[in-house]
Structure 1
Amino acid sequence: MSGSPSSLSGHGGRLAAARARFPDAPAPWLDLSTGINPRPYPVPPQAFEDWGRLPDPADLARLEAVAAQTFGVDDPARVVAVPGSETAIRLLPKILPRGRVSLPVPTYSSHPLAWRRVGSEVVADPDEADLCVVVNPNNPDGRSLAPEAVLALGQRGAVVDEAFVECEPSLSVAPFAGAPDHERLIVLRSFGKFYGLAGLRLGFVIARPALSRRLRETLGEWPLSAPALAAGLAAYPDGAWAN
């Protein structure tokens, strides 16, 4: 049996493991394990020639500029495209200083796992922390903090996961992340959940320029596939669909 209780309790996906653990369950399966839009964005067909070449860095830069405009960020240099916000969740603890990190309880399980793996101490009280991790709105209970409260935490240092903020756009602090007077504020954005295309693996980190440069250097020349670039470039300017 390839599935186990622990393999299914972390977060969404792993449908193959669920099928293996419950082979006699009725089919078809209805996967409610994660918050993904069941009506995905109609991605244009990918040109065959795009599959036969490396993704163009110019397209990556265009996507980051389009995403910056969508998020209300005035400097695209602060916006870094990543292969899914999960990658950023796992990568940032390896780049940022280790210390005491506060997290809401309950919250998305990858956050505490990533910080503990690098030796940081996870605490509940933000007043006891060197860095605050905020999921806003929170997953899985939907709790939210006002932007003013999040910005106050950001003065000390905060990573804000806005994976579901499209459901409540007024909560977003993305325009401030990494800007002057908010250099210690980092925001994560997800593409797959709202646009219903989690399999593309597309997300963004918004941070101060120095940290953004370091992330780009770590991710390398081709962090995204050509289909992910094409989907983001089509979807983000499509305000009619988003509304």
Structure 2
Amino acid sequence: MTDFDLDHHGDVEVGEGLVDLAVNVRTDTPPQWLLDEIATSLTDLAAYPRQDAAMAAVAVRHGISPDRLLLTAGAAEAFVLIARAFKPQRAVVVHPQFTEPEAALRAAGHSVDRVILRPEDGFRLDPAAVPEDADLVVIGNPTNPTSVLHPAEDLRALARPGRVLVVDEAFMDAVPGEPESVLGAESPGLLVIRSLTKTWGLAGLRVGYLVAEPGLVARLAAVQPHWPVSTPALAAAIACSNNRAITTAVAAAQELDRQRAHLVAGLAEVDAVKTYGVARGPFLLLRLDGAAVVRTALRERGFAVRRGDTFPGLGPDWLRIAVRPEATADLFVKTLREVLG
């Protein structure tokens, strides 16, 4: 079932002079205060990275004990560690979703089954659709690329002894109040992944973390290389966990809600475009006939958007677009109208 390009990511769509609607990183980031904290850490590059302060800061941020936390070089490393540390008899990935987890599992030699959520159902999860004998399950929340936020109750229903349940919450801090987060839940086998990439614009720095019961964390740490997170990335983890950062992130999530509502309203006036489900992430999934041709035409007019046909469960008639400020959204909708004639 390697019929999709699981290694394709939105950054390859971006080019010089194009308005970037292909990558789900918040605009105008990182903020200057965060850059200053990272820059200050550069004087310590001669020493090996020490994680103690960053571990403590992130643990306090989420109200958890440090032994339930593992810092990683972005969410991508977390997926690789999972593929190395566990030997599932039946791994299941719920799609459409970020393709990196399945790619990592396959690269490690595991077979992977897919549970495909349907647009007709608003891409909502039915816990009963996941096979009972699955001992490793991966799902995103809110899910990339559908932007659907699954109820925490439905996710907890997937947890059980003997199963590792991986919930990718890379975009959860973009949801005001994080109402459906399961980070900190006492569910058996639960493993939650977080990233600092999206809200803070740190894709080039590679920093994230995972939260799980201490036994699972120990198994993952055992297959992680020494000093996996750089000194500048550790400085970013500390800075993004303080009260100032939390307040900033909350405001950014609220602003994102307003920007997304504006974009949804504009697209609702374009008859050829359909959306499914309720979007809660910093991106929208669109269905329109001939999306591949439309994507090329948009590119010729200055907009980079993410193709949808590399996500299992989707096909050539899907595009993902990042939420951007109102002026950019209005120009995009105007250009899309022109392209669609």
TM-score by length of structure 2 reads 0.60
Give the superposition deviation at 1:7: 7.7
Give the superposition deviation at 1:216: 2.5
1:61-107 CA distances to partner (integer Å, 9 max, x unpaired)?
Answer: 221222122234x2111110000110111220221122222222211
Q: Please, which of 127, 132, 152 is the counterpart of residue 131 of structure 2? A: 127
Cα distance in 2 for partners of 1:96, 1:13 equals 30
Name the counterpart of 1:199: 204
Give the superposition deviation at 1:38: 1.2
Cα distance in 2 for partners of 1:233, 1:186 equals 22
The aligned amino acid for 2:55 is E
Cα distance in 2 for partners of 1:85, 1:99 equals 23
The aligned amino acid for 2:150 is L
Distance 1:46 1:151, change over 3 A: same
Cα distance in 1 for partners of 2:57, 2:146 equals 31
C-alpha contact (below 8 Å) 1:11/1:108 kept by paired residues: no
Name the counterpart of 1:3: none
1:176-211 CA distances to partner (integer Å, 9 max, x unpaired)?
Answer: 2xx4xx231111101111111111100111112122
Cα distance in 2 for partners of 1:112, 1:9 equals 10
Distance 1:29 1:233, change over 3 A: same
The aligned amino acid for 2:170 is A
The yes-or-no answer on 1:183 pairing with 2:193 is: no
Cα distance in 1 for partners of 2:148, 2:142 equals 6
Give the superposition deviation at 1:8: 9.9
Name the counterpart of 1:54: 48
Give the superposition deviation at 1:48: 4.2
> Structure 1 stretches (4+) deviating beyond 6 angstroms?
6-9
1:36-72 CA distances to partner (integer Å, 9 max, x unpaired)?
Answer: 11132332223442122221x2xx1221222122234
Cα distance in 1 for partners of 2:62, 2:222 equals 23
Cα distance in 2 for partners of 1:195, 1:52 equals 26
C-alpha contact (below 8 Å) 2:75/2:207 kept by paired residues: yes
Q: Please, which of 161, 167, 174 is the counterpart of residue 168 of structure 2? A: 161
The yes-or-no answer on 1:37 pairing with 2:4 is: no
Please list, as runs of the form range in 1=range in 2, the aligned pairs for 1:134-149 lying within 5 A after superposition.
134-149=139-154
Classify the secondary structure of the residue corresponding to 1:154. Answer: coil
Q: Please, which of 58, 65, 68 is the counterpart of residue 59 of structure 2? A: 68
The yes-or-no answer on 1:230 pairing with 2:235 is: yes
C-alpha contact (below 8 Å) 1:80/1:204 kept by paired residues: yes
Give the superposition deviation at 1:131: 2.3
Cα distance in 1 for partners of 2:52, 2:156 equals 28
Give the superposition deviation at 1:137: 0.5
Q: Please, which of 232, 248, 259 is the counterpart of residue 241 of structure 1? A: 248
Distance 1:8 1:88, change over 3 A: closer
Classify the secondary structure of the residue corresponding to 1:219. Answer: coil
Q: How many pairs were matched up? A: 221
Cα distance in 2 for partners of 1:190, 1:62 equals 18
Give the superposition deviation at 1:223: 1.3
Cα distance in 2 for partners of 1:198, 1:113 equals 19
C-alpha contact (below 8 Å) 2:7/2:99 kept by paired residues: no
1:148-192 CA distances to partner (integer Å, 9 max, x unpaired)?
Answer: 11111122431000000012211111112xx4xx23111110111
Larger-gyration structure (1/2): 2
Cα distance in 1 for partners of 2:97, 2:225 equals 30
The aligned amino acid for 2:130 is P
1:132-153 CA distances to partner (integer Å, 9 max, x unpaired)?
Answer: 2110000001112111111111
Cα distance in 2 for partners of 1:79, 1:211 equals 10
Give the superposition deviation at 1:9: 6.9
Cα distance in 2 for partners of 1:36, 1:61 equals 28
The aligned amino acid for 1:91 is L
C-alpha contact (below 8 Å) 2:81/2:223 kept by paired residues: no
Name the counterpart of 2:179: 170
